[in-house]
Amino acid sequence: MKTIAWDVDDVLNNLMQSWFEWFKNRKKLNLDFQDITENPPYKILNISITEYIQSLDEFRLSNLYQEMKPAEEVLEWFKNYGKYFRHIALTATPLIAAPTTAQWVFKNFGRWIRTFHFVPSRRENINVPDYDIDKSDFLKWFGKVDILVDDNEKNINNAKKWGISVILFPAQWNSSKLSKEEALKLINRMME
């Protein structure tokens, strides 16, 4: 049975869109979600990276994060095919948001995802040991992942170095030309 590592935000859920709608309403922005073609989107929003990170952390720690629905296509895939693989969550999130992210994962995908792993995103005045520089370092150390599903091209490219099969999950800030359904079908082809 193959093991899949799932990125959480913008793969299992639609964090960027949920955060953007919340942020847009607070700031009364005249932008649509389709305008977000970079991640992180602070330049598009004409704000500093610090303001972006602070607002994202505020959203992650709010009830709004816990109330996010799972990505429909992904949840449907898990219902139909999840039992044919082992699953882990692997996310890059700040230490302060890891508990809420883990709670969201287990609440929505706990039938299939049994372990939660994270590489702490750097935050000012929060020092944590650097076990892993990025997800690729974690995957190398962990050594049990066959497939990585992630929306970040850097994570995808780095995972390939360790012989891991990868699926670049479609997002408007990456180069994937697949639909979400097509990306998920690729996983089924890797079953054997």
How do residues 121-163 score in pLDDT, each as one tens digit? 888 777 888 898 899 999 999 999 999 999 999 999 999 999 9
When pLDDT is cut at 50, 70 and 90, the band that residue 96 belongs to is: very high
What CATH homologous superfamily does 3-14+69-189 map to?
A: HAD superfamily/HAD-like (3.40.50.1000)
* Cβ atoms of residues 160 and 145 within 8 Å: no
Mean pLDDT for all residues in the chain: 95
pTM: 0.95
pLDDT at 127: 82
Name the residue ranges covered by the structural domains of the chain: 3-14+69-189, 16-66
Select from 129, 191, 136 the least CA-distant residue to 7: 136
pLDDT of 128 reads: 84
User: Is residue 164 within 8 Å of residue 139, measured between CB atoms?
Assistant: yes
CA distance 40 to 97: 17
* pLDDT for residue 183 is more than 70: yes
- Retrieve residue 133's tokens: 């520089």
Q: Over range 88-111, report the average pLDDT.
A: 97
Q: What is the largest CA-CA distance in the chain?
A: 50
User: What pairing do the DSSP bridges indicate for beta strands 113-120 and 86-93?
Assistant: parallel
- Secondary structure (DSSP) of 91-119: EEE-GGGHHHHHHHHHHHHTTTEEEEEEE
Confidence band for 191, pLDDT divided at 50, 70 and 90: confident
Give the per-residue pLDDT at 192: 64
Q: Is the pLDDT of residue 9 over 90?
A: yes
Cα 49 to Cα 40: distance, rounded to the nearest angstrom: 8
> So what's the pLDDT on residue 126?
79
CA 74, 109, 121, 66 torsion-angle sign: positive
pLDDT at 164: 96
